[in-house]
């Protein structure tokens, strides 16, 4: 049986609650659940997008630093030869 009244589908509810969770969790204590839930939709979408862009940019910078460190660590160092005896 389909919906007999206007309401959100399970998929839409999951999307909205996931978005609210992401803002509260990644907002570093700047938002509480009730505030985000009662935000105007346009403001909640804007806030979500800004937080997402921030973390995407942060991940790109971290990957760039890690790749430069990895490329520097790939330089081969000559292994010492311990087969010769030290002079007495």
Q: DSSP per residue over 10-48, as a string?
A: HHHHHHHHHHHHHHHHHTTTS--HHHHHTS-HHHHHHHH
pLDDT for the residue numbered 71: 72
pLDDT for the residue numbered 2: 62
Torsion of CA 62, 28, 19, 66, to 10 degrees: 10
pLDDT for the residue numbered 10: 83
pTM summary value: 0.66
Distance CA 22, CA 16 (A): 10
pLDDT for the residue numbered 62: 92
Closest by CA to 21, choosing from 31, 7, 6, is: 31
pLDDT averaged over consecutive 10-residue blocks of the chain (88 residues)? Answer: 70 91 92 94 95 95 86 68 70
């Amino acid at each position: 049986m389909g919906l007999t009244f206007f309401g959100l589908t399970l998929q839409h509810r999951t999307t909205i609650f996931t978005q609210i969770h992401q803002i509260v969790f990644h907002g570093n204590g700047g938002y509480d659940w009730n505030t985000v839930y009662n935000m105007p939709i346009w403001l909640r979408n804007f806030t979500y997008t800004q937080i997402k862009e921030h973390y995407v940019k942060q991940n790109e910078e971290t990957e760039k630093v890690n790749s430069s460190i990895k490329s520097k660590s790939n330089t081969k160092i000559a292994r010492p030869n311990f087969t010769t005896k030290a002079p007495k």
